[in-house]
Amino acid sequence: DRVESKSSWQDLVLPPQQEQVLQEIVAHVSKRAMVYNNWGFAGKHQRGLGITALFSGPSGTGKTLAADVLARELHLDLYKVELSSVVSKYIGETEKNLERIFDAAETGGVILLFDEADSIFGKRSDVKDSKDRNANMEVSYLLQRMEAYPGLAILTTNLPNSLDSAFLRRLRFVVPFAFPSATQRSEIWRRVFPTDTPIKDLKFDKLAQLNVAGGNIRIIALNAAFLAANAREPVQMKHILQATQTEYTKLEKLLTGVEIAGWV
């Protein structure tokens, strides 16, 4: 599925170290012709020229958003690959599906985003039967194919410990996305509303008391905007409170008094 890239660095709230690594990824992709060809690295090192990155962390912490930002920065199309639709129980079919994806990506020069990578890049097991052998072959094929892919391949996972250690060693970048701190949540709230959105008396430091990730903050902000628009009012704390209650019901979480203390 093609993802239309609309996000910018302004939309991404990360610690300086993680943001620096993302900037390094941009440099590797944009300057690969200079380093590989003009400076001779492609002739000296035949393997491992593919640019691969793993984004790991809890759901809603910005992994897909970061891929979106990279695609826009590099002026490349971003395609999200649902691995659940690629993996097949039939021997050899998974490799064929992935080969078609990589061949098409090489032709189009796109960024590949493999969502929930742990579903296929799992730890290789001891071979006890033909199923184990086939699973190991799939992982080995992916390792080789990604190293040969000339573009950028991004993997996301909520379970970094489930990935194969040999696979992790051969990744060029690993970017951990941690649950945002209160300071980071406050900054996300400050940036989440578009400049054209009318807001009134929002207490961003109070909103940061909500113990949710950035993805949930964006959903709450959007729902609050609809509530305010329906009431023909600017977005206020009362709208965000109602939207929060709806989001917490969906998440089956209990909204505590501490989280909404001082809101209204």
The predicted-structure confidence for 167-180, as pLDDT tens digits, reads as follows: 777 789 999 999 99
Match 């203390």 to its residue by tokens: 261
264 falls in which pLDDT band (50, 70, 90)? confident
> Residues 36-48, buried b or exposed e (16+ Cβ, 10 A)?
beeeeeeeeeeee
Tally of residues, the chain: 264
Residue 166 vs residue 114, higher pLDDT: 114
- pLDDT for 144 equals 79
pLDDT in tens, 51-100: 999 999 999 999 999 999 999 999 999 999 877 677 776 777 888 888 88
Q: Give the mean pLDDT of 227-244.
A: 98
Q: 202-225 in b/e burial notation, b at 16+ Cβ within 10 A?
A: beeebbbbbebbbbbbbbbbebbb
* pLDDT value of residue 145: 82
Pick from 223, 217, 162, 153: which is nearest to 187 by CA?
Answer: 217
Interatomic CA distance for residues 221 and 228, integer angstroms: 10
Write b or e for each residue in 71-103: b if 16 or more Cβ atoms lie within 10 A of its Cβ, otherwise e.
bbbbebebbbbebeebeeeeeeebbeebeebbe
The pair of structure tokens assigned to 77 is 């199309």
**Do the bridges between strand 152-157 and strand 173-176 make them parallel or antiparallel, or are there none, so unpaired?**
unpaired
Using one digit for the tens of pLDDT, what is the confidence trace for 96-152?
888 888 888 887 789 999 887 776 665 544 445 445 445 566 667 777 787 788 889
What percentage of the chain reaches a pLDDT higher than 90? 58
Query: What is residue 136's predicted lDDT score, i.e. its pLDDT?
Result: 61
What percent of the chain has a predicted confidence (pLDDT) above 70? Answer: 88
Average of per-residue pLDDT across 150-174: 81
Q: Cα–chain-centroid distance for residue 112?
A: 11
pLDDT single digits (tens) 9-66: 999 999 999 999 999 999 999 998 899 889 998 887 666 788 999 999 999 999 999 9
For strands 2-3 and 173-176, give the pairing.
Answer: unpaired
Under 8 Å between Cβ of 121 and 155: yes
Whole-number pLDDT of residue 135:
55
What's the pTM value of the predicted model, to 2 decimals? 0.85
Residue 207 has pLDDT above 60, yes or no: yes
Contacts of 59 (CB under 8 A, 6+ apart): 158, 213, 215
Helix axes 182-192, 214-230, angle to 10 degrees: 40
If you search the block for the tokens 């949930």, which residue do you land on?
216
